[in-house]
Amino acid sequence: MSVITSTARFISWAGLTAAGAVHAVWATGSSWPAKNAKKLGSATVGSTKATPSPGATAAVAGAALSAGAIAAGGLGEGRTAVGLRRLMGLGMIARAVAGGDATLRALGLAKPNATFTELDRRYYRPLFGALGVALLLGAKKKR
């Protein structure tokens, strides 16, 4: 496996696993690193009223942790595993391009506030883009 592929897999594994871990912490009711649940909701879904349930947050945690394992090569190097890594990469890039506003609308949530919009522009969209590129670069089969 090339250095680029190995590095890309490490980056995508680390990013997705970290996202999964943070969502797992939130699923327990913690608002870390925000000071309270309202500030967390404002920063993550653009609303202080309509925040995801613990079950939905746990589902996102599980999906992100599973995606991290797949990104790292946990399903092997077969066509299905490579296809999943490519699909995840394209999904991350689509989220980066579409932005959080479109994503929240697709999930049936209200138009996000200015806090979320700014965080999405500065941090979330670039992170999704970087993870998407890393997933695509790491999607190659081992030789």
**Contact in structure between 113 and 83 (CB atoms under 8 Å):** no
The answer to the question of residue 25 being in a domain is yes
The answer to the question of residue 38 being in a domain is yes
Tally of domains in the chain: 1
In the block, which residue shows the tokens 């699909």? Answer: 87
What pLDDT is stored for residue 64 in this prediction? 98
Q: What is the mean pLDDT of each run of 10 residues along the chain (143 residues)?
A: 92 98 97 95 91 94 97 93 97 97 91 96 98 95 64
What pLDDT is stored for residue 107 in this prediction? 87
In this structure, what is the dihedral angle of CA atoms 8, 9, 15, 17, given to the nearest 10 degrees? Answer: 180
The answer to the question of residue 111 being in a domain is yes
What pLDDT is stored for residue 140 in this prediction? 82
pTM: 0.92
- The string over 84-118, giving b where at least 16 C-beta atoms fall within 10 Å of a residue's C-beta and e elsewhere, is bbeebbeebbebbeebbeebbeeeebeebeebbbe
Domain limits for position 86:
3-137
